[in-house]
Chains A and B, each alone.
Chain A
Amino acid sequence: AQRVTQPEKLLSVFKGAPVELKCNYSYSGSPELFWYVQYSRQRLQLLLRHISRESIKGFTADLNKGETSFHLKKPFAQEEDSAMYYCALSGRNTGNQFYFGTGTSLTVIP
């Protein structure tokens, strides 16, 4: 069965420190992984997708099929990074469904 696990509900880091938000998944086949972000009082929005291999707002995420992980990383956290982050999964086996993790609330301490 498809599943996305985000083991940390809350994460606090100091400004300028590295940050890593963990995401593990369960999927048979080739998944598509995404990170979505929700800033305070804003709507859920796409941050990045693994297929693009892009860096958005300094964040990167590498799909590791061996470890079934898609951790989100940023070398130097900024206060404006404080938000709720959701890892999500799609793929041919999921049909039209899109599976979200339970989210990690990131707080960057000034």
Chain B
Amino acid sequence: GAGVSQTPSNKVTEKGKYVELRCDPISGHTALYWYRQSLGQGPEFLIYFQGTGAADDSGLPNDRFFAVRPEGSVSTLKIQRTERGDSAVYLCASSPVSGRPSSYNEQFFGPGTRLTVL
């Protein structure tokens, strides 16, 4: 079946603008994670959804970042008043089982959205 998909693949925006990044998880996967990967760094956890609710949003850097998953499937990461420091690749991952990523709860990653803030 299809893997995790993310749209757009690339997004260029201007400082101060609002952006939305979309993630389509693997069908039936209840857990969904967002990560941010800055240049030269590993992925950094942002937020985790269990079904429709954000079970852990402790990784969101500030209140300009928000994510939703209204029907427990597709998720949207929203960034307000973008700053140049928000430029990064935003990764989404899904898992078939709710709960923390573990040896029994493998994450499947999407291709990422490369966000560039000018």
Contacts and interface: CB of A to CB of B under 8 A. Distances in A.
A44 B113 CA distance: 13
B42 A102 contact: yes
A49 interface: yes
Interface of B: 3-4, 33, 35, 40-45, 48, 55-56, 58-59, 91, 99-103, 106-107, 109-112
Given A43-B112, A45-B109, A88-B42, 10 more contacts: A44-B43, A44-B109, A86-B42, A90-B101, A95-B58, A95-B100, A96-B56, A96-B99, A96-B100, A97-B100
A64 interface: no
A17 B44 CA distance: 32
A96 B102 contact: no
A86 B100 CA distance: 18
B30 to A, nearest CB: 13
B48 A46 contact: no
A46 B107 contact: yes
Interface string A1-17: 00010100100000000
Interface in A23-52: 32, 34, 43-46, 49-52
A43 B6 CA distance: 11
Nearest to A87: B42
A59 interface: no
Contact of B103 (A4, A6, A44, A49): A49
